[in-house]
Amino acid sequence: MTRADPSFLPIPGIRLGAAAAGIKYPGRDDLVVIELAEGAACAAVFTRNAFCAAPVVTAREHLEAKAPRYLLINSGNANAGTGAAGLEDARASCKGLAGIVGCDPGRVLPFSTGVIGERLPLGRLIEALPRAVEALSEEGWAEAARAIMTTDTVPKLAFWQFEVDGRPIRVTGMAKGSGMIRPDMATMLAYVATDAAVDPALLRDCLGQAVAPSFNSITVDGDTSTNDACVLMASGAGGAAPITARGSAAYRGLCEAVTGVCMELARAIVRDGEGATKLVEVLVEEARDEAEARDVAYTIAHSPLVKTALFASDPNWGRILAATGRAGVEDLAIERVRIWLDDVCIVRAGGRADDYREEAGQAVMSQAEFSIRVALGRGEAGARVLTCDLSYDYVRINAEYRT
């Protein structure tokens, strides 16, 4: 398993095209069409937010009924909280693309990201579709990654390859996300493709395995979006033998590669969190079960007091201790709990570690990336969550989001 050189970015059988529709910002690409080769397999997971967006509802319906040939993505408008009219717009956008490319509208999956509660400017979107289709190319990943950005500061791309019986198999992915990030399957969209031929049921299983430690283990601000989606496409155009057995080396290699791409993209999302200056890994160990460990990790990762201390590079260990204590762990024996900043122990035996020195904690928290590690002393389960700090710029970006 290796991370591939950027020259491996294109995936045979997957073409992408971007165009400017003027949905929110003039003069920048904000519309993407992805074309899947006939016979390609596709799997997707979506937000669990009860107010899921109209394109999420439509994409689910279409995916259950037919094998997709096209994905249609717009940035700048979420088409969420728009009721029956939003559903009509989502379906009309699918019909518009289908009319250009000559396919059933049910074989188009729509995706949107941006401002909630405003009607999709359908006319501008439909008008730009021919330009996006004309731009379709296997080389179009970088342009597409930029076009789906909203408050992101950089496009997010990842690419891996592995071999099966001497034949290379490629996996490429792109994602957008910077705020409203705490996926539950933030505003987060991710698209991953492989040139492997994969049984559809195995592709769904592979995607489920990949999102659990990646997109479902990150948080910027604790908000789960109305529009979250992650799609895994398998074109089958790479020439390797089809992957049909769950226990095969090829399937294991595919799962490793897809998970690796998703992990890279998830890390890039948190690193690019709105106003973020720190990337922090929260590790919880020695829990009774994984659910308990995740509760503690997310309580720390979501604490505004912890997150502002991270921004200030202030080793205010009492905030981490307090968050651990209020995470709802029943009968927590505080004398067994230990807490570290990287390798610097800050809490032991119910209070500040005897050998802890403020300057050591300060040195860790002044870094751009570090870890908070908590051992609960209760069992053998653990969890890992990626988070970031909470800065002045986060407030500014979200206060000005609609202006």
Distance CA 122, CA 111 (A): 13
Tokens, residue 64 = 């259950």
- For the CA atoms of 387, 393, 394, 398, the dihedral, rounded to the nearest 10 degrees, stands at -160
| Nearest CA-CA partner of 328 in 281, 277, 287 | 287
Q: Is 349 left (phi over 0), alpha (psi -120 to 50) or beta?
A: left
Instruction: Report pLDDT digits (tens) over 95-119.
Output: 999 999 999 999 999 999 988 999 9
| Nearest CA-CA partner of 80 in 90, 70, 71 | 90
Cβ contact 30:147 at 8 Å? yes
Q: Which residues contact 256 (CB under 8 A, 6 or more apart)?
A: 1, 162
Query: Helix (H, G, I), strand (E, B), or coil: what is residue 201?
Result: helix
The phi, psi pair for 84, rounded to 5°, reads -65, -35
Q: What architecture is the 279-399 domain classified under in CATH?
A: Roll (3.10)
Question: In 186-292, at which residue ranges do the beta strands (DSSP E only) sit?
Answer: 189-194, 229-234, 279-287
Per-residue confidence (pLDDT) for residue 17, from 0 to 100: 98
CA distances to 23, 30, 98, 281 from 35, in Å? 22, 17, 11, 36
Q: Which residues contact 366 (CB under 8 A, 6 or more apart)?
A: 313
Average pLDDT over residues 125-146: 97
Active site residues per annotation: 187
Share of the chain above pLDDT 90, in %: 80
Average pLDDT, the chain: 92
| Nearest CA-CA partner of 278 in 290, 270, 288 | 270
Instruction: Report pLDDT digits (tens) over 85-98.
Output: 999 999 999 999 99
Instruction: Report pLDDT digits (tens) over 52-67.
Output: 999 999 999 999 999 9
Domain ranges of the chain: 2-271, 279-399
Does the pLDDT of residue 5 top 90, yes or no?
Answer: no
Per-residue confidence (pLDDT) for residue 101, from 0 to 100: 98
pLDDT confidence of 141, banded at 50, 70, 90? very high
Burial class (CB in 10 A: 0-12, 13-18, 19+), 5: exposed
The phi, psi pair for 89, rounded to 5°, reads -65, -45
User: Between 273 and 246, where is the model more confident?
Assistant: 246
Tokens, residue 164 = 């099966």
Tokens, residue 58 = 């439509």
pLDDT confidence of 123, banded at 50, 70, 90? very high
Instruction: Report pLDDT digits (tens) over 187-197.
Output: 589 999 999 99
* Same fold yes or no, 2-271 and 279-399: no
Per-residue confidence (pLDDT) for residue 161, from 0 to 100: 92
CA 119 to chain centre: 25
Per-residue confidence (pLDDT) for residue 85, from 0 to 100: 97
Pairing outcome for strands 344-348 and 338-341: antiparallel
Average pLDDT over residues 343-370: 96
pLDDT confidence of 186, banded at 50, 70, 90? very low
Average pLDDT over residues 332-341: 97
Does the pLDDT of residue 171 top 50, yes or no?
Answer: yes
Average pLDDT over residues 8-34: 93
Average pLDDT over residues 279-304: 96
Instruction: Report pLDDT digits (tens) over 206-225.
Output: 999 999 999 989 887 766 67
pLDDT confidence of 180, banded at 50, 70, 90? low
- pTM of the complete model: 0.91
pLDDT confidence of 151, banded at 50, 70, 90? confident
Does the pLDDT of residue 178 top 50, yes or no?
Answer: yes
Q: What is the DSSP string of 152-187?
A: -SS-EEEEEEEEETTEEEEEEEEEE-SSS-------
Among the residue ranges 106-120, 224-238, 244-258, the one predicted with the least confidence is 224-238
Does the pLDDT of residue 185 top 60, yes or no?
Answer: no
Does the pLDDT of residue 228 top 90, yes or no?
Answer: no
pLDDT confidence of 284, banded at 50, 70, 90? very high
Pairing outcome for strands 189-194 and 229-234: parallel
Q: What architecture is the 2-271 domain classified under in CATH?
A: 4-Layer Sandwich (3.60)
